[in-house]
Structure 1
């Protein structure tokens, strides 16, 4: 069977982000996706209206069932929703140090709307950061996690918090013509990429990027190569993204 990525992520009914984005991106990477659902959300391509988090007991029951019969090689987390779910994931990862782990520290949906209490989630994420093989924050999340405005200082503070590698995603920065991502490993910048900034807003691009990275890592790709392949793939699928309604965010065409 294909190498499997176990994703901790929420259900987005629109299919643009969350667990459907994980499934499609990981499938496109050549791996198989298994899902431990962290929450049911009420959202579309334009806004999050609410959510109901899975209990930690149900979350762990899902993961324990999956690890018994699937070849898990990597874990990826997106929306976790509650501090209880973050603590449960941390316990799970400590019990399985053999798994590579991609942490996408989701705090707020790009379409607008809360995916949990940001202040409490930020404090709880401190427990996950040292367990991650790579953390993939956008610049809004990076500043929120570290309390630092300067991006270089914020990145180095994330390493001081125990990070092993960080991919800083620059889509929220004021660069009208391009988006710049920077990859750091062990505190050192090892790669930087730029792509043209496409027209419009996109629903689930961060989920897709982190999940494709996880899929390649599950297949023993090096971290640097996995990130670069994921960035190239994401740009292609965003170029073909579909527009659900006027004013809505575009949904990446991952297949």
Structure 2
């Protein structure tokens, strides 16, 4: 599989393309990373250096890839942290170009906006662009529960919620365009104590997986999740299988990170679990 990945980049640590590219490559996929920012480190540190890349420069890089005739062989487009609202139009144009060259290509949007702990941490002009511009052209959307609530104006999703409430919000988002939605961090009323869940919804089916919640904050975990689920869904054709493999690999990365006592994801240490997920978590069909 060949993936055009339009996301942020950091030199130190693993978020954005710095989190997504290596796992995809470890699975044997070709990745064409296009950077929206080139920062020293992720913004969660409170300080960082490096440039926000202008939308026209991002577009130029994508144009250059297209001039190599690559779009006809592109299987998936993946986008994450955008940096500026103008990037949304660049992404939509890239999706249109790729799909014109290869109608079988799919577009995954990870709508990076924030989380329940930090709130919304992007430019306030970016979230409206997701709903109006990007989500309608996405095939797969991978919000966390907070972002799902933000998109659908459901403040209640910022905390523990019923599965029914989450599914209702997912259905609302799917009506905007995406055929498949992966909610990457479901906090469900009635879930086992000290657990975290992911929910995949496609067609008339919904699948839930539960993993232990580790006592840590992991910047970049959503970026890995979006990349891995995209890859596994394309290669297996099964949302349930993709969910099982993704949950297994992401948990392994988080566990290695927690055990290391370090802040940045231990992607390299856990690479074998990315290449060969153990599938140790049961995926339950909930619809």
TM-score (norm 2): 0.76
Q: CA deviation at 1:129?
A: 1.2
Listed as ranges, the matches of 1:128-143 within 5 Å are: 128-143=134-149
Q: Secondary structure at the match of 1:162?
A: coil
Flag structure 2 segments of 5+ consecutive residues without an equivalent: 157-164, 272-287
Partner in structure 2 of residue 38 of structure 1: 36
Distance 1:113 1:53, change over 3 A: farther
Question: Structure 1 residues 205 and 157 mapped into 2: Cα distance closer, same or farther (>3 Å)?
Answer: same
TM-superposed CA distance for 1:146, in Å, is 1.0
Residues 222, 139 of structure 1: alpha-carbon distance in 2 compared, 3 angstrom cutoff: same
Pair 250,15 (structure 1): closer, same or farther in 2 beyond 3 Å: closer
Moved more, 206-215 or 46-55: 46-55
1:48-197 equivalences under 5 Å are: 48-49=46-47, 52-67=51-66, 68=68, 70=70, 71-97=73-99, 98=103, 99-108=105-114, 116-118=122-124, 120-126=125-131, 127-148=133-154, 149=156, 150-170=165-185, 176-186=193-203, 188-197=204-213
The answer as to whether partners of 2:115 and 2:144 remain within 8 angstroms in 1 is: no
| Pair member with larger Rg | 2
Higher helix share: 2
- Give the alignment partner of residue 249 of structure 1, picking from 232, 242, 263: 263
CA RMSD in angstroms comes to: 2.8
Distance of 2:169 and 2:117 partners within structure 1:
24
Secondary structure of the residue aligned to 2:252 is helix
Q: Which of 192, 200, 207 is the aligned partner of 2:223?
A: 207
Unaligned runs of 5+ in 1: none
Q: Residues 250, 96 of structure 1: CA spacing in aligned structure 2 closer, same or farther, 3 A cutoff?
A: closer
Where relative contact order (Cα < 8 A, 6+ residues apart) is larger, the structure is 1
Q: Any conservation in 1 of the 2:13–2:41 contact (CA below 8 Å)?
A: no
Q: How many residues are aligned here?
A: 248
* Alpha-carbon distance in structure 2 between the residues aligned to 1:157 and 1:54: 33
Tell me which moved more, 55-64 or 208-217.
208-217
In 2: Cα distance, 1:249 partner to 1:79 partner: 20
